[in-house]
Structure formats: structure tokens, C-alpha cells
Amino acid sequence: MSKPITSIFATRLKAARELRGLSQRALGGLVSESKSNGSVRINRYEQGVNRADMDTAAALAAALDVPLAYLFAEKDDQAELLLAFAQLTSGDRTKLLAQAKQMAEKRASKGTKSG
């Protein structure tokens, strides 16, 4: 059974914030008019006490310079791939996507499930 989405979001939010070297207060200041209130909100999101609505999640992702999907990635390898993919040039993303589709088609033709 997978983790609840609130827990996944909390984990990814904290990881992204730490990756960017931001305190809860600093991130709160980027997405809220009040740094102190923003800090409390970020803490509550990271603890899974409060849930961010979609607009807030998008603002947090933008402030952290991560894809919105990263904050909801259920598996660590998916999350890492999203971060790496976002850093590629458009041409490199197109190439990687074509390779991934090709690999998936091969796997599907063999009748193998992905994990």
C-alpha cells in the first residue's frame, strides 16, 4: 500500500526546500506576504498537519524551482527523474522521452509489468 498523498507531499516539500538551501521562514516569505506566518504554514505542510491547495502547491513548486509533479511523486526514482528531466534542454528532453517510450514499448511487447 502506498503512503498517503499528504505524507508524500510533506516529504517532497521538505526535501526540495533543503535541496535549495532555504529555511521554512525563507520559503514562507517567498509564497506568503508574512515570513512568520509563512514559516508556520510551511512547517504545517511539512508535518502533514495542513494540506496545500493546488494553487499553493504550484506556488511552492515555482518558488523551489521544481516541477509541480515532483511534490507528488510516489516513488523516489520518479522524483529524481523529474528533477533531472527539468534540468535538461528541450532537445535532450525530447531525446530522453523518445528513449523511454521505446523502452516501454519493448517491455509491453514482452508482456512485462513495470515496478
Q: pLDDT at residue 32 above 90?
A: no
Q: What does the pLDDT read at residue 45?
A: 96
Query: Model-level pTM?
Result: 0.86
Mean pLDDT value across residues 70-91: 96
Residue 90 dihedral angles phi and psi, to the nearest 5°: -55, -45
Mean pLDDT of the chain: 92
For the residues 86-106, what does the mean pLDDT come to? Answer: 96
